[in-house]
Amino acid sequence: MMNIILSFTFITIIANLMMTACMILSKKSLYDREKLSAFECGFDQKSSSRLPFSLRFFLIAIIFLIFDVEITLILPAIINLKFCHPLTWMKINMLFIIILIIGILHEWNQNAIQWAN
């Protein structure tokens, strides 16, 4: 038991020393002009590349990703029907779908899924 604790302590100390060495040796300039400027194939910019991004579009994209993952979780449930009792399978899937419906209704109530105001 003492060997395990000693080994764990030794590995932790070595890991911390390596992280500290990386942080000290990899100091980079935060204000590097070349990294902050946009690169357009070596040509001068015609317009600003720092255009404002639509927050509404970002929110809709995040909501789409969340519900897309939920759909991918529903699909294997069809295969699980062979291995579960049908009533249990139906209860679990109905609970899952009800949670999804509550989520979409909440987003609709918050006007998050309307593209234009």
The predicted structure's pLDDT at residue 10: 93
**pTM, entire model:** 0.51
The predicted structure's pLDDT at residue 30: 58
Closest C-alpha to 70, from 49, 94, 100, 44? 100
The predicted structure's pLDDT at residue 94: 94
* pLDDT tens-place string over residues 19-75: 999 888 876 655 666 666 666 566 666 666 666 777 788 888 888 898 888 888 888
Task: Write b or e for each residue in 43-78: b if 16 or more Cβ atoms lie within 10 A of its Cβ, otherwise e.
Answer: eeeeeeeeeeeeeeeeebeeeeeeeeeeeeeeeeee
Where residue 117 falls among pLDDT bands split at 50, 70, 90?
low
* pLDDT tens-place string over residues 66-78: 888 888 888 888 8
The predicted structure's pLDDT at residue 37: 64
| Residue-range domain boundaries for the chain | 55-109
The set of residues, in sequence order, having a beta carbon less than 8 Å from that of 97 and lying 6+ positions away, is: 74
Residue 15 in this model has a pLDDT that exceeds 90? yes
